[in-house]
């Protein structure tokens, strides 16, 4: 993966500022930077940070496709599926729902295609049509199912199929951490940043909402908009400006169009999705980036899945109606709240 892959997709002005006095811990896991920010009066913060690292590692050994020992890698290596931890089965079920609702735009069976692009980057030339066709032959979320056998969760798949949960796994792990932080840790409030996924919990002492800055995809040091979040809300951002394959001086985004195997081009620079379910938000951000604004708004209006979204184009953005009053576009951005 090209340099810059670890930059955060979101800025957290309030959490990062020393003035506000959050206690923070940052670490690397699941191919991303994770930052836990706790209200400054949190008792036993060091213990909470250690517990967050431990729980993240528990998630990593399930979802990390790059670790051959992870539950996901073992599932991928199995012929037609196997018994898996409940956490993995739940995420595969949700991924299948998002795949169905998005008409296949979210496709978690593209691992052979991602691997092809990674190898293409290493050798310095684009994948050939033949290579792409071969890698696309095994795709198809419809061949993946989750069943229960003797009380255990089993994922079934076509022989040779391999799953890529890179578009949903971080949000799923983030959700696990957020429920620990909000329900068990004793921390009164805080912010959790998981790569392109941010979640907040509790209530700030002054009663004001959390404010998250969405990065301007065309200017990594700039802001496209500020978004208000309340405790229990997640925001996930997908874009192709920070993770990409670089081949012969050209950048190829890591979010793929399942039809062609080439980087998706839905006409957007990035998409932010606000939900109460971090795994759903993560998957939907990836799906909406593929779909683009028009089809994305159609999915929103279908009410198949509960979410709000911000579609970021070059110099402009559109928010879904539920974000009216909660989002402020930065100067220079043409801003629009879509009709319901
Ligand atoms: P995200 O950063 O959450 O948008 O997820 C992007 C990651 O999801 C990529 O790095 C791939 O691992 C995987 N991916 C790529 N294209 C798709 C797609 N169309 N549907 C689902 N996952 C994808
Ligand atoms: Mg995603």
> For residue 66, what pLDDT is reported?
85
Q: How far is the CA of 20 from the centre of ligand 2 (A)?
A: 30
Specify the ligand 1 atom closest to the Cα of 258.
19
3-state secondary structure string across 243-310 = CEEEECCEEEECCECCCCCCECCCCCCEEEEEECCHHHHHHHHHHHHHHHHHHHHHHHHHCCCCCEEE
Contacts 24+ apart (CB under 8 A), 71-79: 72/163, 72/165, 72/169, 75/155, 75/157, 75/163, 76/111, 76/162, 76/163, 79/159, 79/160
C-beta of residue 310 within 8 angstroms of C-beta of residue 276: no
Tokens at 334, concatenated: 């043409």
C-beta of residue 39 within 8 angstroms of C-beta of residue 190: yes
In sequence order, which residues have a C-beta less than 8 Å from that of residue 147 and are 6 or more positions away?
153, 154, 156
Its pTM surpasses 0.75: yes
Residue 234 pairs with which residues in a beta bridge? 199, 275
> For residue 240, what pLDDT is reported?
84
Does 114 sit in the ligand 1 pocket, CB within 6 Å? yes
Residue 136: other Cβ atoms inside 10 A: 20
* Ligand having the closest approach to the CA of 106: 1
Q: What span, in angstroms and rounded, lies between the C-alpha atoms of 281 and 153?
A: 24
- In the block, tokens 């940070």 appear at 49
> For residue 133, what pLDDT is reported?
96
Q: What's CA 44's distance to the chain center, in Å?
A: 29
Give the burial class of 157: count Cβ atoms within 10 A of its Cβ; 0-12 exposed, 13-18 middle, 19 or more buried: buried
Tokens at 147, concatenated: 């069943």
- In the block, tokens 């559109």 appear at 318
- The rounded average pLDDT for each run of 10 residues, N- to C-terminus, in the chain (340 residues) is 32 42 94 95 97 97 92 96 97 98 98 96 97 95 96 96 96 97 97 95 94 91 94 96 91 96 96 98 98 98 97 94 95 84
Buried b (16+ CB within 10 A) or exposed e, 185-202: bebbbbbbbbbbbbbbbb
Specify the ligand 1 atom closest to the Cα of 170.
3
* Ligand having the closest approach to the CA of 257: 1
> For residue 250, what pLDDT is reported?
95
In sequence order, which residues have a C-beta less than 8 Å from that of residue 311 and are 6 or more positions away?
268, 271, 288, 293, 296, 297, 317, 318, 319
Phi/psi at 237 (5° precision): -115, 135
C-beta of residue 1 within 8 angstroms of C-beta of residue 242: no
Specify the ligand 1 atom closest to the Cα of 107.
20
> For residue 111, what pLDDT is reported?
95
Q: How far is the CA of 291 from the centre of ligand 1 (A)?
A: 13
Q: How far is the CA of 286 from the centre of ligand 1 (A)?
A: 6
CA angle 259, 264, 266 (to 5 degrees): 110
């Amino acid at each position: 993966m090209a340099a810059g892959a670890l930059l955060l997709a979101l800025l957290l002005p309030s959490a990062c500022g020393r003035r506000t006095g959050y206690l923070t811990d940052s670490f690397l896991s699941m191919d991303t930077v994770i930052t836990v920010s706790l209200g400054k009066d949190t008792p036993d913060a060091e213990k909470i940070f250690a517990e967050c690292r431990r729980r993240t590692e528990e998630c990593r050994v399930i979802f990390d496709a790059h670790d051959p020992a992870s539950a996901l890698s073992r599932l991928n290596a199995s012929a037609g599926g196997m018994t898996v931890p409940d956490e993995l089965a739940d995420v595969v079920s949700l991924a299948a729902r998002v795949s169905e609702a998005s008409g296949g735009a979210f496709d978690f069976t593209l691992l052979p295609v991602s691997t092809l692009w990674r190898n293409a980057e290493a050798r310095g030339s684009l994948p050939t049509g033949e290579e792409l066709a071969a890698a696309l032959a095994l795709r198809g979320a419809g061949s993946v199912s989750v069943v229960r056998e003797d009380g255990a969760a089993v994922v079934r798949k076509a022989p040779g199929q391999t799953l890529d949960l890179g578009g949903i796994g971080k949000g799923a792990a983030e959700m696990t951490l957020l429920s620990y932080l909000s329900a068990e840790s004793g921390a009164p409030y805080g912010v959790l940043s998981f790569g392109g996924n941010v979640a907040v919990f509790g209530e700030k002492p002054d009663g004001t909402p959390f404010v998250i800055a969405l990065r301007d995809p065309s200017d990594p040091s700039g802001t496209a908009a500020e978004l208000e979040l309340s405790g229990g809300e997640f925001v996930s951002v997908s874009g192709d400006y920070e993770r990409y394959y670089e081949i012969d001086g050209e950048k190829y985004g890591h979010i793929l169009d399942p039809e062609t195997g080439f980087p998706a081009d839905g006409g957007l620079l990035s998409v932010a999705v606000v939900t109460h379910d971090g795994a759903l938000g993560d998957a939907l951000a990836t799906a909406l980036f593929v779909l683009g604004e028009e089809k994305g708004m159609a999915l929103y209006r279908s009410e198949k899945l509960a979410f709000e979204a911000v579609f970021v184009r070059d110099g402009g953005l559109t928010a879904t109606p539920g974000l009216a009053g909660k989002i402020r576009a930065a100067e220079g951005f043409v801003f629009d709240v879509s009709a319901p």
